[in-house]
């Protein structure tokens, strides 16, 4: 019985490690593209989503500007945290960082949680099937 428990536990941990490594790899490849496209297409909404983390005690102010010497120019953005006393702090970099972390988690968790559950459940059924296949007399008695 101890050997069976050790085998199930080892199989579960091995499967969990494989699932987490695969989920991490897929999330690392995809979160930058998904986050970059989302920030480029809807920057104000993305930064308002992370505003409670970036600027907890103030209001987030989003400004968009066009820097151009020739037409059509490049569009950029500037994100500031305005406190109640009127002080302004540049939080552009931290807003981008927190939004990319959120996109990484949005890519990682849907892969890792169901895969981890399958990795934890599958070895018990596999070993049960294997045991029944080796000892067919145990099924009858």
Question: Could you read off the pLDDT of 25-72 as tens digits, one per residue?
Answer: 999 999 989 998 998 889 889 999 999 999 888 888 998 888 877 777
pLDDT recorded at residue 6: 75
Give the mean pLDDT of 93-119. Answer: 89
95 backbone φψ class: left, alpha, beta (φ>0; ψ -120 to 50) = alpha
pTM over 0.75: no
Structure tokens belonging to residue 81: 């945290």
pLDDT recorded at residue 40: 87
């Amino acid at each position: 019985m101890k050997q069976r428990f050790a085998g199930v536990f080892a199989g579960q941990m091995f499967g969990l490690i494989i699932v987490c490594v695969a989920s991490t790899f897929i999330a690392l490849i995809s979160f930058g593209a998904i986050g970059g496209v989302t920030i480029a297409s809807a920057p104000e909404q993305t930064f308002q989503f992370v505003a409670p983390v970036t600027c907890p005690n103030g209001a987030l102010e989003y400004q968009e500007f066009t820097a151009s010497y020739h037409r059509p120019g490049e569009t950029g953005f500037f994100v500031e945290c305005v406190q109640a006393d009127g002080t302004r702090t540049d939080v552009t970099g931290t807003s981008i960082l927190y939004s990319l972390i959120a996109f990484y988690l949005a890519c990682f968790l849907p892969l890792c949680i169901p895969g981890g559950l399958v990795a934890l459940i599958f070895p018990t059924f596999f070993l049960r099937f294997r045991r029944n296949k080796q000892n067919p007399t145990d099924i009858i008695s």
